[in-house]
């Protein structure tokens, strides 16, 4: 196939962009992702700008530039301020701290120790990312630029090789070779299913000729997962480039990004990125002077979890109720507006440019036999370091929870990890050392899913968590097919009954029977995976279910129906504080005499528990 002569020299553009960055002088990166903005990063940025106007004080630089970046991943420690040239990462920075950083570190080269990260194990201050365990153990590929560049500036993306892969692909002008590279890399869908990406591209490319579409699934609905949000906010150009490469490979000229309405910042940054890329002719008509044209639209979702399912997502883009359609026909043959459509998840597409640049072999060296590359996980729950991480496939749960995550918070005991959201399952202590990849997790009764990892301690009630997920899927069931609509409702009823202390042993059998019926009979992925949290908790924590049913006890002390609030008469001084606090008047007693709680009136709100100055109130 003949090579295409392009009218844009990307290497030249890159050089110019890099020179621009050098001219910025001392770069101060301030995280402006959703998390840090909530913690006040915009004020931090303003303050820095105010101070930085006086450049005469800088010794080694002629100026200082404040760079608002995308998410660094370490959201709980926000606002994060990174000064790469000074090898420092400051955490929990507030507006009032900015002056000290500026005066002490930027002007006088004296790092501000009190604003550095404190290692939860050694209690030492740590100066830079390389020594913060949370970052040191990660391998960032899809998230490589998130937090290092200004997400709203296309030049910064170009400086870190943005659009170079697209340029190479257009120059080579060989769509077949692109598909082959993706196939060889072993990349699998990061949205949950893990379907081989290259194969999906090939199926869609087989229908080349007429109108076809590339759709990016940014409907990140799994509670507890936010990697796609971070990519869209922190490095939107990588996603656009990935989509353009996919479109070139399969012969599409139009694309849609479907984003949840809950992500307003991502929508804003994507819109800007699309406009900037069009202005540079990296998107639009005859990209870089080639024959290839590609335009991208944004579609905002309206809050329906089921729209993460590809056929439901298509229905939603078409303006209809987001209900799944039976497959076949697969979207590769008959998708959006009845045309062949390639649907990939955000993270999947973000991996594409780097695979093209560094080669399939480089990518496939990372990971395990069947799962190549890296995977992002949203690490949350009862661990010390919560945030967004990216590790090679095959990393063990132990490394994630105890090294990167810094162990359990408040000295709590590790009980389980819930992985893959409402479609996933639980992993327990016995799974801490299995290499995490698509297939091992399926074997363990869980799934990678979108990569939400919620760490749970002995203070988390497993049965309540199962009820929580079932409540979620039941709410989100679109109602089209009977097994999902009726099955999830009845499973939820049983779980509510158990949590309320009214369960019977035979309920467990019914629950399991229903779970299998829903799993086997449902139309789409939502229903097929909805019973997973129940099945996996029944498998690993049956004891807890039985404790709720037979002993009417919640071992974690969470389920209110089984809680009892009592006053320890030996400790009670009769100060009457609790009696005055109780909203339902359940506590009685005379001054300076031990008080008493009327269990028939008590609503277990624990208001008395927090009010008692003598710790005389006990939860049983």
Q: Which residues contact 469 (CB under 8 A, 6 or more apart)?
A: 421, 422, 533, 534
CB 83 within 8 A of CB 163: no
Using CB under 8 A as the binding rule, the residues of this chain from 274 to 333 that contact another protein are: 299-305, 316-323
Residue closer to another protein (CB basis): 155 or 235? 235
Counted residue by residue, the chain has a size of 620
Provide the H-helix boundaries in 87-145.
98-100, 133-136
Q: Tell me the pairing of strands 452-457 and 414-419.
A: antiparallel
Q: Which residues contact 132 (CB under 8 A, 6 or more apart)?
A: 74, 89, 117, 119, 126
Which helix (H) or strand (E) element contains residue 597?
Answer: strand 596-597
Q: Is 74 in the site for another protein (CB under 8 A)?
A: yes
The region of 144-152, 187-195, 471-479, 548-556 touching another protein under the rule CB under 8 A is 471-479
Among 116, 283, 352, 456, interactor with another protein by CB under 8 A: 456
**Could you tell me the two tokens for 537?**
């908790």
Q: ω before 328 within 30° of 0 (cis)?
A: yes
The region of 187-195, 342-350, 466-474, 509-517 touching another protein under the rule CB under 8 A is 466-474
Cα(585)–Cα(579) distance, integer angstroms: 7
Name the residue with tokens 């089209």. Answer: 480
The region of 14-22, 72-80, 366-374, 549-557 touching another protein under the rule CB under 8 A is 72-80
Phi, psi torsion values for 61, nearest 5 degrees: -130, 155
Residue closer to another protein (CB basis): 158 or 416? 416
Give the x-and-dash track for 424-453 against another protein (CB under 8 A).
Answer: ----------------------------x-
Residue 439: HSE in the Cβ half-sphere, 13 Å Cα cutoff? 8
Cα(439)–Cα(368) distance, integer angstroms: 10
Among 31, 35, 153, 477, interactor with another protein by CB under 8 A: 35
Q: Is 221 in the site for another protein (CB under 8 A)?
A: yes
Residue closer to another protein (CB basis): 90 or 469? 469
Residue closer to another protein (CB basis): 262 or 399? 262
* Class of residue 1 by CB neighbours under 10 A (exposed 0-12, middle 13-18, buried 19+): exposed
Residue closer to another protein (CB basis): 201 or 256? 256
At residue 52's C-alpha, the angle toward residues 48 and 56, to 5°, is 160
Least CB distance to another protein at residue 192 (A): 15
The region of 106-114, 122-130, 215-223, 273-281 touching another protein under the rule CB under 8 A is 215-223
Residue closer to another protein (CB basis): 202 or 229? 229
Give the x-and-dash track for 236-275 against another protein (CB under 8 A).
Answer: -------------------------xxxx-----------
Q: Which residues contact 48 (CB under 8 A, 6 or more apart)?
A: 28, 30, 66, 98, 102
Cα(385)–Cα(403) distance, integer angstroms: 9
Among 76, 100, 253, 512, interactor with another protein by CB under 8 A: 76
Rg from Cα positions in the chain: 27
Residue closer to another protein (CB basis): 175 or 387? 387
Least CB distance to another protein at residue 373 (A): 23
The region of 8-16, 267-275, 365-373, 454-462 touching another protein under the rule CB under 8 A is 454-462
Q: Is 39 in the site for another protein (CB under 8 A)?
A: yes
The footprint of another protein on this chain (CB under 8 A) covers a number of residues equal to: 57
Cα(60)–Cα(109) distance, integer angstroms: 10
Cα(387)–Cα(401) distance, integer angstroms: 12
State the virtual CA torsion across 528, 531, 536, 539 in degrees, nearest 10: -120
Q: Which residues contact 430 (CB under 8 A, 6 or more apart)?
A: none
What three-state secondary structure class fits 452? strand
Least CB distance to another protein at residue 184 (A): 33
Q: Residue-wise over 193-207: b if at least 16 C-beta within 10 A, else e?
A: bbebbbebbbbbbeb
First vs last C-alpha separation in the chain: 76
Q: Tell me the pairing of strands 341-345 and 374-381.
A: unpaired
Least CB distance to another protein at residue 413 (A): 15
Among 10, 21, 30, 37, interactor with another protein by CB under 8 A: 37
Residue closer to another protein (CB basis): 10 or 417? 417
The region of 14-22, 189-197, 221-229, 271-279 touching another protein under the rule CB under 8 A is 221-229
Using CB under 8 A as the binding rule, the residues of this chain from 409 to 428 that contact another protein are: 418, 421
Residue closer to another protein (CB basis): 104 or 581? 581
Centre a 10 Å sphere on the Cβ of residue 43 and count the other Cβ atoms it contains: 15
CB 74 within 8 A of CB 387: yes
The region of 33-41, 61-69, 205-213, 324-332 touching another protein under the rule CB under 8 A is 33-41
Least CB distance to another protein at residue 408 (A): 13
283: left (phi over 0), alpha (psi -120 to 50) or beta: beta
Residue closer to another protein (CB basis): 138 or 316? 316
Residue closer to another protein (CB basis): 186 or 340? 340
Using CB under 8 A as the binding rule, the residues of this chain from 528 to 587 that contact another protein are: none
Q: Is 225 in the site for another protein (CB under 8 A)?
A: yes
Residue closer to another protein (CB basis): 263 or 438? 263
Using CB under 8 A as the binding rule, the residues of this chain from 335 to 394 that contact another protein are: 337, 378, 380-382, 386-388
Residue closer to another protein (CB basis): 255 or 394? 255
Least CB distance to another protein at residue 331 (A): 16
Among 120, 193, 196, 223, interactor with another protein by CB under 8 A: 223
Among 282, 363, 438, 472, interactor with another protein by CB under 8 A: 472
Residues that bind another protein (CB under 8 A): 34-35, 37-39, 74-76, 78, 220-226, 229, 261-264, 299-305, 316-323, 337, 378, 380-382, 386-388, 418, 421, 452, 454, 456, 460, 465, 468-469, 472, 476, 478, 605
């Amino acid at each position: 196939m003949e090579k295409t002569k392009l009218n844009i020299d990307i290497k030249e553009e890159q050089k110019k962009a890099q020179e621009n960055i050098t001219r910025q002088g001392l770069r101060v990166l301030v995280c402006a992702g959703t998390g840090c903005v909530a913690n006040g990063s915009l004020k931090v940025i303003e303050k820095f700008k105010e101070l930085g106007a006086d450049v005469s004080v800088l010794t080694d630089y002629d100026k200082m530039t404040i760079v608002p970046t995308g998410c660094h991943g370490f959201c709980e420690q926000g606002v994060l301020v990174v000064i790469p040239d000074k090898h420092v990462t400051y955490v929990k920075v507030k507006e009032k701290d900015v002056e000290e950083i500026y005066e002490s570190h930027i002007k006088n080269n004296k790092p501000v120790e009190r604003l550095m990260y404190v290692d939860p194990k050694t209690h030492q201050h740590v100066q830079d990312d390389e020594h913060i365990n949370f970052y040191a153990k990660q391998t960032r590929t899809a998230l490589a630029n998130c937090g290092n560049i200004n997400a709203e500036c296309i030049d910064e993306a170009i400086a870190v090789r943005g659009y170079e892969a697209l340029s190479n692909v257009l120059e080579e002008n060989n769509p077949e070779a692109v598909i082959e590279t993706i196939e060889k890399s072993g990349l699998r869908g990061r949205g949950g299913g893990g379907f081989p990406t290259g194969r999906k591209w090939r199926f869609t490319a087989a229908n080349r000729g007429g109108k076809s579409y590339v759709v990016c699934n940014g409907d990140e609905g799994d509670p507890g997962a936010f990697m796609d949000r971070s990519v869209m906010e922190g490095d939107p150009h990588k996603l656009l480039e990935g989509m353009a490469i996919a479109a070139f490979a399969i012969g599409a000229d139009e694309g849609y990004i479907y984003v949840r309405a809950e992500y307003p910042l991502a929508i804003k940054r994507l819109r800007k990125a699309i406009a900037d890329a069009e202005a540079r002719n990296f998107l639009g008509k005859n990209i870089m002077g080639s024959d290839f044209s590609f335009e991208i639209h944004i579609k905002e979702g309206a809050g329906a979890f089921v729209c993460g399912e590809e056929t439901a997502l298509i229905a939603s883009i078409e303006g209809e109720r987001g209900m799944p359609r039976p497959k076949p026909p697969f979207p590769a043959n008959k998708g959006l507006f009845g045309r062949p459509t390639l649907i990939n998840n955000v993270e999947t597409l973000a991996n594409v440019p780097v695979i093209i640049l560094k080669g399939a072999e480089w990518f496939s060296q990372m990971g395990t036999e069947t799962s190549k590359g890296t995977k992002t996980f949203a690490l949350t729950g009862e661990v010390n370091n919560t945030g967004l991480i990216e590790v090679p496939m095959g990393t063990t749960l132990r490394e994630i929870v105890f090294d990167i995550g810094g162990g359990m918070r408040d000295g709590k005991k590790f009980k389980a990890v819930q992985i893959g959201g409402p479609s996933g399952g639980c992993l327990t202590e016995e799974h801490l050392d299995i290499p995490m990849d698509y297939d091992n997790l399926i074997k363990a009764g869980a799934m990678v899913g979108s990569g939400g990892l919620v760490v749970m301690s002995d203070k988390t009630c497993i049965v309540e968590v199962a009820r929580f997920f079932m409540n979620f899927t039941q709410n989100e069931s679109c109602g089209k097919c009977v097994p999902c609509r009726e099955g999830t409702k009845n499973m939820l009823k049983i779980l509510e009954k158990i949590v309320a202390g009214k369960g019977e042993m035979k309920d467990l059998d019914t629950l399991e029977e229903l779970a299998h019926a829903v799993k086997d009979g449902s139309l789409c992925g939502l229903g097929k995976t909805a019973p997973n949290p129940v099945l996996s908790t029944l498998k690993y924590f049956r004891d807890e279910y039985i404790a709720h049913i037979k002993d009417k006890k919640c071992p974690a002390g969470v389920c209110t129906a089984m809680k009892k609030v009592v006053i320890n008469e030996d400790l009670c001084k009769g100060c009457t504080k609790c009696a005055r606090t109780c909203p339902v008047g359940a506590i009685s007693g005379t001054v300076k005499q031990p008080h008493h709680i009327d269990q028939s009136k008590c609503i277990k709100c624990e208001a008395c528990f927090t009010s008692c100055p003598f710790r005389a109130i006990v939860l049983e």
